[in-house]
Amino acid sequence: MKTIKFLLVTLAVAILFNSCSDDNDDPVIVQENPLSEMNRLTTLSANNHTIELYSENTDFTVGYNMFYYRIKDESTDTYLSNAQITVNPLMHMTSMTHSCPKSAISKMEDDTIYMGYAVFQMPGNADEYWELNMEYTLDGETYAISERIDVGMPEDGFKRVQSFIGADDKRYIVAMIPFEPEVKVNAFSAMVFQMENMMNFPIVEGYTLGIDPRMPSMGNHSSPNNENLTFDSSTGKYNGKLSLTMTGYWKINLQLFNKQGDVLKGEPVTDENEASSLYFELEF
């Protein structure tokens, strides 16, 4: 009996000691930070506010990026939950300036965190660069802030976004939503935008994105039971199923069909035609 008691006491002390030391080491707020798994890509400071920008990626990369924002009031050292935010990335090219497909900014469950995506079609370079323009309204007052950002190609160099002129002479952008590929039937999503002009990129509704995954290193074989991506009006995404029968490099050949089923871009893969001109790439 005595031994058991001793053990119980020791255990209790150990637990107590452990939790205390946790409290002492880290500020409480970090423990609860839903962004702790994310990478802070940049911090913008102005107007006595600090705006933190987070992403699952370590860099601004070409393709679909989901960004998370927090606004800290430097005077009170608190994160603000009552802001209205708009974000408009601009690409300053030598000959012109254009924007990119992006979403409105919404709030997450933790209402000090705001989120929205942007789809960068191209990387910056020495002469041409992306600029993040942000406007936020707090208590009726609107602030603007902007910063040049470095958007690079993904480290693996794989294609996850493609912009093109369709058979209907309209400009489109197709972007893959990043996911963790596995050997299984993967949920697979993409977005399709139309480039109305330099600044407006509305979501294209009701089209179909045909997929044909292939392994060029293994005789260009395909996989069974894929499902073409169809439009989901509630999320604005095109969702389908992607079967990957083994790890390695896969080329996801695509064909974009309009509502009438006409091909706007992409070719079927056949014995003669190894790949479509419209495709995504992945490797795992």
User: What residues make contact with other proteins under the rule CB under 8 A?
Assistant: 182-185, 215, 217-219, 221-225, 243-249, 283-284
In 3D space, the residue among 269, 275, 220 whose CA is nearest the CA of residue 249 turns out to be 220
CB of 59: closest distance to other proteins in angstroms? 21
- For the CB of residue 243, give the shortest distance to other proteins in the complex, in Å: 5
Angle at 151 between CA 131 and CA 109, to 5 degrees: 80
In the complex, minimum distance from the CB of residue 252 to other proteins, in angstroms, rounded to a whole number: 14
Distance between alpha carbon 179 and the CA centroid of its chain, in Å? 9
Which CB sits closer to other proteins, 163 or 220? Answer: 220
Nearest distance in Å: CB 214, other proteins: 9
The residue (of 122 and 153) whose beta carbon lies closer to other proteins is 153
Return the beta strands (E) in 56-202 as ranges.
Answer: 60-61, 63-73, 78-79, 84-92, 97-98, 106-107, 114-120, 129-138, 141-149, 151-152, 161-165, 171-176, 185-194
Rounded to a whole number of angstroms, the minimum distance from the CB of residue 151 to other proteins is: 24
Q: How far is it, in rounded angstroms, from Cα 123 to Cα 61?
A: 7
Q: Which is nearer to other proteins, 103 or 245 (CB)?
A: 245
Taking the complex as a whole, the smallest distance from the CB of residue 249 to other proteins amounts, in Å, to: 5
Tokens of 174: 């197709």
Cβ distance to other proteins smaller for residue 55 or 223 = 223
Q: Which residues pair with 218 in a beta bridge?
A: none
Q: Which among 224, 190, 188, 195 has a CA at the least distance from the CA of 207?
A: 190
State how far the alpha carbon of 219 is from the alpha carbons of 82, 211, 271, 274, in Å: 56, 18, 10, 10
Nearest by Cα to 228 from 220, 217, 237, 239: 239
- CB nearer to other proteins: give 52 or 212: 212
Residue 145 or 153 with smaller CB distance to other proteins: 153
